Amino acid sequence: MNWSDAAAYALPFLGALVFCASIGGAVYGGYAAVQDDLGLCGVPAIAVTPPEDIDHNAPEGTVDPSWTQLDYEELNEAEKEAFEEAVGSVSGTGDVHGELEHEAAFSGGALVAYEGEEYYVAIETMDECASAAPWVLPAGVLGVLVGLGLFYSPRLARMLAHRSDR
Amino acid sequence: MSVVPYAFVACLVVGVVLRARYGSFRNLSRTILADGGHVRGDETEEREKKANLLRWVTTVDHKDIGLLYLVFGTVAALWGGVDSMMIRTELLTPAVDVWSEETYNALFTTHGLTMLFFFVTPVFFGMANYFLPLLIGADDLAFPRINAIAFWLLPPSLLLVRGGLITEVIARVLGLGLPRSMLEILYTLAPPATGWTLYTPLSTQLANPQIDFMLLGLHLSGLSTMMGAINFIVTIFMKRGPDVDIGDFDIFTWSMLTTSGIILFAFPLLGSAILMLLLDRNFGTSFYAVEAGGSILYQNLFWFFGHPEVYIIFLPATGLMSTILPKFSGRKLFGFKFVVYSTLAIGVMSFGVWAHHMFTTGMDPRLLTSFMIVSIAIAVPSAIKVFNWMTTMWKGDIRLTAPMLFSAGGLGLFVIGGITGVFLASIPIDVMYQDTYYVVGHFHMILMAIIPFQMFAASYYWFPIITERMYNQRLARLQAVLTSVGVFVTFMAFLIMGALGMPRRFASYPPKFQLFHDVASVGAFVIGFSVLLWLYNMLHSLWFGDLVRDADVWDLKKTQQFTREWQAFEARLAEKYGVTSTSPEETRAAAESQMVGDQKDEPDTGSPKAFEDLSGIGNDVVVGAVAGFVGMMLMSAVLYVGSLLGVFDLVSFAELAELVGVEGSPLVGYLIFLGGGMTTWALLFVTFADFLPGEPLLRTGLVFAVVMLPGFFVAFYSGQSGWELVGYILVAFVAHLAYGAGLATTFKMLSGRLKTSLVHVSE
């Protein structure tokens, strides 16, 4: 195998590696830049388990002492809306469009008294927003471009040689 | 990113329809002739069948249905692959900040289900549909209409399993203009987040109605698979050509037969298990309630299906490996019968290992022990295959085509994946690594190495038969190497992470694992990129690839391996284009390898014949042991001097003794050391001397000894520092040179008296 043949395999191979190593930075960095603006993060969700299903997690008549006990009225407006949305939906989850005041309580699991029944409430997701250092996106994009350039370099070289021959 | 699979589907459908509608762009490309030349032109008309949508949805032709299976499987693979790319993107950072936890859970669930049920089996069924009748001389499958029904059950079952994603995407698109309250019914279905194993009680408690659709979809796909399996079995026994006896079956046919047999016994268990799950969820039955069978009943039923399922997807790939590897090694498959026996043995043993998935459930240890033994034992038939593949390649006429690169690369990775699995079969180790990335790394390494690799290899190998065109071979070779690197990087990172304790199925993780996760993600992107290269190569070559008019694309006639499917291809070309059959003037049996030098024309040389070579092997062992003893004596003398100088601690031999349960005995340790130098290392030298650099043999011996040095240096290091450490390094180095010199010169001397198999010496 001569140098030309070796380059025909080695450069695209190297280019593919550089390209793939840069995808993460380009995608994650780009997504972090627009995620919040597009409203794709920052809305936590809570999961509400109805009373009849709580016994699956704790024997009847007992309550895990680590669970905080709250009254529905103690929740703020955003939490109340999310709670009611969860109770009324098949999936049992509701988005909190506002401050999650009882984050600590819901993180460990809480019993919320509502209309004479106790519901188990826990955080489904905090829906955090991605945060990337400022250099991640440009470095990723640069890597993608360099990788693609290397990948296509043998073909580009052939095209240039063909053109100069003409 | 979820639109990507739809784009792929659209591209594939458009490609297939245009290819079928307009035939080939033959004016734009060249025809390959037997002499290597090319002609241009549109001298032939290759379109025989009417190409329209109605034909494709009503066809019962085994080749058409095979192609439909292949397209469907490819679409499913791309969809499942997008899932895995999304998973790896989430895991770029320790926090859950790309997708949500629920989405992540759904991703690994649908990734597993899609790949196992809708990618692997359909692709292998597609290949079997197309090629199995050709290989056994049948004109079609036994039940063509059932064959068509079996395929057409798959698209609805895929939609049932993955419908939650589709409704969610539709809801989000409509949500741009409609209030959410109007779209609630679409939001009701969410992608299932149970894991592909659907363990109870989680799967019985989650309210998501999509889980019910998923169970129905899996049931439907099970019916489809059963129909296909029955069809293959009946076809093999009842429809094979009059000149094809059981003894004439090729290895792929044996693999499909065994796979179909496993399906018959395994899939009804899946059907039963998920039917009871469906009843528990919707009709108040209590099969899996704590008071009844409980979750352990479900796990037993599921894994009685689940582990044979591993072999259902594994065996066809081994059949392809055994088919393709010999073609590019220039000789027939070594140990054909034993490869068949190992396939049958796996078929039986696969039903006796299911509880190794349940080692941590508290089952009776006596039961678990039996499963541990069978789980370790089932590695033996797989090892038989591996050794036969390696022996087929040994001193063969290797041609590094893309199918061969995939076979050889896959073989190496398969060994890594397989050995990590043998460790897991041991109960104490499994208890340690249960639910860690080690398990994930093991099964991905082994499955990736054999299944997609062999699919790629077969797609390139048989591409000319299907399309009458040639693919871009340079791009294919590049893709093969890239895929091998990607798989190694990704799943080695998994194995290391798992060994360090990283649990599986978590969207967030401790920051200390980020480097490993990022490396794994880069490797995964490499795999994804190489898959796109394959797709491009297939679609581009389908239209613009060089036309093939000489059926012996791979020079198989030379080694008498021009098998039935290629003969059928040759007949087709002759019928369509009037191309006359070409045969080389000289051929040799595939059992004979292509030897070099003076041996080239000797008819008796070639493929190693186990019994004929036994005497040489026996001499190798004896001579190697004696040579090893001499080398060890020289090495021991140097180490003793080192101990007198105070740079080497003889007590470090005691640690070797602990390996056999003897505490604090340097003497026992030294005897083990001596035995190793006479057996393991000496035989390794004898085996690999031909492939190590250096002439004459003395230099080879020195190279071999230096290669071993780092291992010794780490194993016998006893805390030296400063000049003591320098002295230790020097003593270890000189001791190894002494071992290599003693080993090589003694071996050279004795080989003159006893015939050994080492080419180095004989030359």
In this predicted structure, what is the pLDDT of residue B42?
44
Answer yes or no: is B652 within a domain.
yes
- For residue B667, give how far its alpha carbon lies from the nearest alpha carbon of chain A (Å): 51
- B210-238 vs B154-174: helix crossing angle, rounded to 10: 150
Asked if residue B288 lies in contact with residue B204, where contact means CB atoms within 8 angstroms, the answer is: yes
In this predicted structure, what is the pLDDT of residue B117?
96
Same domain, B537 and B618: no
Asked if A107 is an interface residue toward chain B (Cβ–Cβ < 8 A), one would say: no
Asked if B617 is an interface residue toward chain A (Cβ–Cβ < 8 A), one would say: no
- For residue A128, give how far its alpha carbon lies from the nearest alpha carbon of chain B (Å): 5
Q: Is B547 helix (H, G, I), strand (E, B) or coil?
A: strand
Asked if B181 is an interface residue toward chain A (Cβ–Cβ < 8 A), one would say: no
CB-CB under 8 Å, B208 with A90: yes
Which of B98, B190, B207 shows the shortest C-beta gap to A31?
B98
CB-CB under 8 Å, B92 with A24: yes
CB-CB under 8 Å, A56 with B205: yes
Asked if B93 is an interface residue toward chain A (Cβ–Cβ < 8 A), one would say: yes
CB-CB under 8 Å, A91 with B188: yes
Asked if B392 is an interface residue toward chain A (Cβ–Cβ < 8 A), one would say: no
Answer yes or no: is B439 within a domain.
yes
ipTM: 0.90
* CA dist B450 → A141, B317, B413, B416, B654 (Å): 34, 6, 8, 12, 42
- For residue A5, give how far its alpha carbon lies from the nearest alpha carbon of chain B (Å): 10
Q: Which long-range contacts (CB under 8 A, 24 or more apart) does B704-712 make?
A: B704/B740, B704/B743, B704/B744, B705/B736, B705/B737, B705/B739, B705/B740, B705/B741, B705/B743, B706/B733, B706/B736, B706/B737, B706/B740, B708/B681, B708/B736, B709/B733, B709/B736, B712/B736
CB-CB under 8 Å, A130 with B89: no
CB-CB under 8 Å, B188 with A90: yes
At A47, the amino acid letter reads A
Domain range for residue B499? 399-548
In this predicted structure, what is the pLDDT of residue B618?
75
By the 10 Å C-beta count (0-12 exposed, 13-18 middle, 19+ buried), B291 is classed as exposed
Is the pLDDT confidence value at A114 over 80? Answer: yes
Same domain, B515 and B631: no
Same domain, B404 and B543: yes
Answer yes or no: is B656 within a domain.
yes
> What pTM does this model have?
0.80
Asked if B201 is an interface residue toward chain A (Cβ–Cβ < 8 A), one would say: yes
B201: preceding bond cis by omega (within 30 degrees): yes
Asked if residue B217 lies in contact with residue B157, where contact means CB atoms within 8 angstroms, the answer is: yes
A99: how many CB neighbours lie within 10 A of its CB?
Answer: 12
User: How is chain A split among helix, strand and coil, in percent rounded to 5?
Assistant: 50, 15, 30
Asked if B544 is an interface residue toward chain A (Cβ–Cβ < 8 A), one would say: no
**A45 contacts in chain B (CB < 8 Å):** 100, 102
Can you give the length of chain A in residues? 166
Total structural domains in chain B? 2
- For residue A143, give how far its alpha carbon lies from the nearest alpha carbon of chain B (Å): 13
CB-CB under 8 Å, A91 with B100: no
Which of A19, A20, A128 shows the shortest C-beta gap to B95?
A128
In this predicted structure, what is the pLDDT of residue B707?
85
Higher-scoring residue by pLDDT: A9, B342: B342
Cβ-proximal residues to A104 (8 Å cutoff; 6+ apart), any chain: none
Asked if residue B531 lies in contact with residue A25, where contact means CB atoms within 8 angstroms, the answer is: no
**Boundaries of every domain in chain A:** 45-125, 132-166
Taking CA–CA distances from B476, the nearest residue in chain A reads: A9
B527, B548, B569 - which closes a domain: B548
**B529 contacts in chain A (CB < 8 Å):** 16, 19-20
Taking CA–CA distances from B473, the nearest residue in chain A reads: A9
**A9 contacts in chain B (CB < 8 Å):** 474, 477-478, 481
* CA dist B435 → B354, B498, B502, B520, B637 (Å): 16, 9, 9, 18, 49
Q: pLDDT tens digit string along A66-104? A: 788 899 999 999 999 999 999 988 888 899 999 999 999
In this predicted structure, what is the pLDDT of residue B35?
40
Which of B205, B477, B529 shows the shortest C-beta gap to A16?
B529
Same domain, B638 and B541: no
Q: Can you spell out the DSSP letters for B69-89?
A: HHHHHHHHHHHHHHHHHHHHH
Q: Output the average pLDDT for chain A.
A: 87
CB-CB under 8 Å, A27 with B522: no
CB-CB under 8 Å, B96 with A125: yes
- For residue B597, give how far its alpha carbon lies from the nearest alpha carbon of chain A (Å): 22
**A23 contacts in chain B (CB < 8 Å):** 522, 525
Which of A8, A19, A24 shows the shortest C-beta gap to B521?
A24
Alpha-carbon gap, residue B679 to B286, rounded angstroms: 60
- A136-165 vs A3-34: helix crossing angle, rounded to 10: 140
Same domain, B526 and B436: yes
Same domain, B529 and B643: no
Same domain, B715 and B628: yes
Which of B93, B100, B477 shows the shortest C-beta gap to A125?
B100
Asked if B658 is an interface residue toward chain A (Cβ–Cβ < 8 A), one would say: no
Answer yes or no: is B720 within a domain.
yes
In DSSP terms, B356 is beta-bridged to none
B548, B578, B606 - which closes a domain: B548
B533, B548, B563 - which closes a domain: B548
Q: Residue A5: name the closest of A165, A160, A157 by CA.
A: A157
Quick one: what percent of chain A has pLDDT higher than 70? 90
CB-CB under 8 Å, A129 with B100: no
Answer yes or no: is B278 within a domain.
no
Query: Over chain B (763 residues), what is each successive 10-residue block's mean pLDDT?
Result: 47 51 42 43 47 85 96 97 96 92 93 96 97 95 96 96 87 79 81 93 90 96 97 96 90 96 96 96 92 92 96 97 95 92 96 94 91 95 95 90 96 96 94 95 96 97 96 95 97 96 95 96 97 96 93 92 94 87 75 55 49 64 89 93 89 81 83 90 81 72 86 85 90 93 87 63 46
Asked if A45 is an interface residue toward chain B (Cβ–Cβ < 8 A), one would say: yes
Same domain, B620 and B524: no
In this predicted structure, what is the pLDDT of residue B32?
46
Which of B101, B486, B529 shows the shortest C-beta gap to A125?
B101
B696: preceding bond cis by omega (within 30 degrees): yes
Answer yes or no: is B381 within a domain.
no
Task: Please state the rounded mean pLDDT for residues A25-51.
Answer: 90
In DSSP terms, A46 is beta-bridged to A94, A123
Asked if residue B20 lies in contact with residue B48, where contact means CB atoms within 8 angstroms, the answer is: no
